[in-house]
Structure 1
Amino acid sequence: MVTAFNLLFSAAAVRRLLGLKSSAQVEIREFFKVIWVWVKGKRPTFISKRVFLNHFVDFRKASSKGMKVTERLDMANHYTVRNLRKDTFYVVEVRREGVFCTCDDLNNQLEFFGRGCCKHGYAVLAQLGFSSLRDYIQAKTIIPFPNVAERPALYAA
């Protein structure tokens, strides 16, 4: 079951942050501004919650690389984002207040934090020329997709 705690402070995130194998046994506990981390066979350590938060965003941005973004011609400000590696796709809507996706990750972020951006949203933002959700929201406008003539690579097979 996904909770606000394990969405941000997961054993998988600890493994990525510490460069551990996916099979490494990890235990985590929350303290005021840090997470206590114990890895089997190693001494316990603390990781700042800020480090986890930055990793949460950076991991999703990195995961968005290589996704194929196409404009939905049937709906304004909607894009289909296809993960070619997993052969999955999601629909992302761009609004002034952010990007909204049909994936579970964004739905969990909205439920627990009231805001957020998934890897599919970051793929659309990158296509529109933004490096972060904050930059997009501060622009206070919906940026239209470039003209078809400017995006031939998106429609190449």
Structure 2
Amino acid sequence: MITATNLLYSKSAIARMECVNAEDVLRLEVWHSVVFVIIRGRRPKFYSKKAFKVHFVQLRQARAKALTATQNVFNPNVYYIRNETKGTAYTVNFFTGGAVCECEDWQNRASFSGWLPASISTVVLHS
């Protein structure tokens, strides 16, 4: 199950940040204000949570460039979002104060954040 913690602070994230294979990340512990990481062949190191958050945002922005959006001709509040790289497509419905998407990413973020569709205002990157 995806949680807010394992979405941001993961072995995959630190592997991308340090340019190593995820299998080389031997240990990752999320502490109060830092993340403790042990990578094979390196000394243990502390990383700021901010570094993970910045990485997360930059990764999602880069992946968003692979998306195409097409507006529904019959309903201007509905968009068809396609990720050519992954071959996936989803429908996003916009309304006053937010949007609702049918993708798994949106569903996960909404569930672990306690957001309700009527009050959400978020960007979902289908990648």
Q: Say which structure is richer in helix.
A: 1
Deviation at 1:48, TM superposition (A): 1.1
Q: Say which structure is richer in strand.
A: 2
Counterpart of 2:125 (choices 105, 119, 122) is 119
- 2: CA distance between counterparts of 1:29 and 1:22? 15
Deviation at 1:23, TM superposition (A): 4.0
- 2: CA distance between counterparts of 1:69 and 1:47? 36
How many residue pairs align between the two structures? 121
Provide the residue aligned with 1:84 in structure 2: 84
Amino acid at match of 1:33: S
Aligned residue for 2:73, secondary structure, equals coil
- 1: CA distance between counterparts of 2:58 and 2:12? 14
Provide the residue aligned with 1:29 in structure 2: 29
What residue ranges of structure 2 are gaps of 5+ in the alignment? none
1:13 to 1:99, Cα distance in 2 relative to 1, 3 A: farther
Provide the residue aligned with 2:105 in structure 1: 105
Provide the residue aligned with 1:138 in structure 2: none
Amino acid at match of 1:54: V
Amino acid at match of 2:20: L
- 2: CA distance between counterparts of 1:68 and 1:60? 15
Amino acid at match of 1:25: V
Deviation at 1:101, TM superposition (A): 1.9
Deviation at 1:105, TM superposition (A): 1.3
What TM-score does the superposition give when structure 1 sets the normalisation length? 0.67
Deviations 1:95-127 (A, max 9, x none): 34334321111211122223643214xxxxxxx
1:25 to 1:106, Cα distance in 2 relative to 1, 3 A: same
Q: What is the root-mean-square deviation of aligned Cα atoms in Å? A: 2.1
Contact 1:78–1:93, Cα closer than 8 Å, also in 2: yes
